[in-house]
Amino acid sequence: MLHYQFSIFDLYPYIFLFVIFFISLHLEKQLGGIIIFIALLLFSGLRYNVGWDYESYVKVIVGDISKIHDSRYEPISRIIFLLGNLINFYPFVFITYSTLTLFIVHKTISKYSLDPVISWIVFFSLPLFFLASLSTIRQSLATSIIFFSYSYLKEKKVLIFLMFIIIASLIHYSAVFGIFLLPLSKIPIGRWTNLFLLIISFFVGSIVENIINLIQSDLSIFKVLQFYLKADYKSSTILQYIYYTIGIINLIFYKKLVQVDSNSSKFITITNFGLIFYNLLSFEPVSAGRISAFFLIFWILLIPQYLNFFKQTDRVLVKIFTLGFCILISLSYLYLYINAYKANILEKISFFPYKTWINNL
């Protein structure tokens, strides 16, 4: 039985963000990026019961402290939850994850993005990133750390990179997949090889499923992987076609992207392997999305490179078009959630209604 009726007014917080994005397009790049960062930080840090796992996390934080000690959470995540319990202020956990996640993304965007505003818009609109961070708070923080760690590979500081992989894994075990950034950043893989590997990946998912199910290990990483792989989750396939389209477009314009920025070849390879991992785990969509996000997040650095294809005088119009397209993606995703809720497929919409903890403690 439905206990919540969606209203068009529930979209206002998201429309407010869209207005911030539009205004930021007309500001100096770094300033616009900072404004969006602050807006998303406030939206995320102040939220109340927004995100699929929000209520279950709150129950753990305010419950018996022994349950946190005995939980399946990773060591660093367990410490954050314990602190929230000890100070008797559960929003501390969500504020901490939101602040760390967005700040780390902000540092990486500021350092490497051709246009921070476009990067933030892409980060918001593709559900694997910002919207996911409202639910999978541990995974999203780990993803942002892996994203940031690439800078040390670029500077050939492998030991520091490995240190960040370990830290990310202590927040969410699946972050060990970030180790693949090491060979992907070192081994030159061209357009046609990327395309070949992507095509092959569509046919080997069942083999990977059988291998993972056969693994008998007491290592936490395998236990966590098998937990997600055996879970009975459902996920829309519409988004994956959007991801495939972006990946193919990147391969089509491979040479042109590399000509305008040599970093593009690495970003294309890394994100292409995100699609490959998505296909390898396609038998379980939730795991596929979460693990592929470690690599697909580099789209937020790659997509702004397309601005180099246009004259400086045309870029404002291109940015506005990009904003409109990204808004369409995010609204479509929210629409799918609303419809699934109305059809009793989902127990909650997850992103509606938007409330703050200030009035709900």
Which residues in 27-51 are b (16+ Cβ under 10 Å) and which e?
Answer: eebeebbbbbbebbbebbbbbbebb
Per-residue pLDDT of the chain (361 residues; tens, 9 = 90+): 456 677 778 889 999 999 999 999 999 999 999 999 999 999 999 999 998 889 999 999 998 888 888 788 899 999 999 999 999 999 999 999 999 999 999 999 999 999 999 999 999 999 899 999 999 999 999 999 999 999 999 899 999 999 999 999 999 999 999 999 999 988 889 999 999 999 999 888 666 666 666 665 555 555 555 554 454 444 445 778 889 999 999 999 999 999 988 889 999 999 999 999 998 887 777 778 889 999 999 999 999 999 988 888 888 888 999 999 888 888 888 888 888 777 777 777 788 889 999 988 7
Cα 343 from chain centroid (whole Å) = 27
Instruction: Answer yes or no: are the C-beta atoms of 267 and 189 closer than 8 Å.
Output: no
Cis peptide before 75 (omega within 30 of 0): no
Any idea which residue has 């529930």 for tokens?
10
Contacts of 60 (CB under 8 A, 6+ apart): 67, 68, 71, 81
Which residues in 169-180 are b (16+ Cβ under 10 Å) and which e?
Answer: bbbbbbbbbbbb
Instruction: Answer yes or no: are the C-beta atoms of 211 and 198 closer than 8 Å.
Output: no
For the range 339-344, what are the long-range contacts, defined as Cβ-Cβ under 8 Å and sequence gap of 24 or more?
341/2, 341/4, 341/6, 342/2, 342/6, 344/2
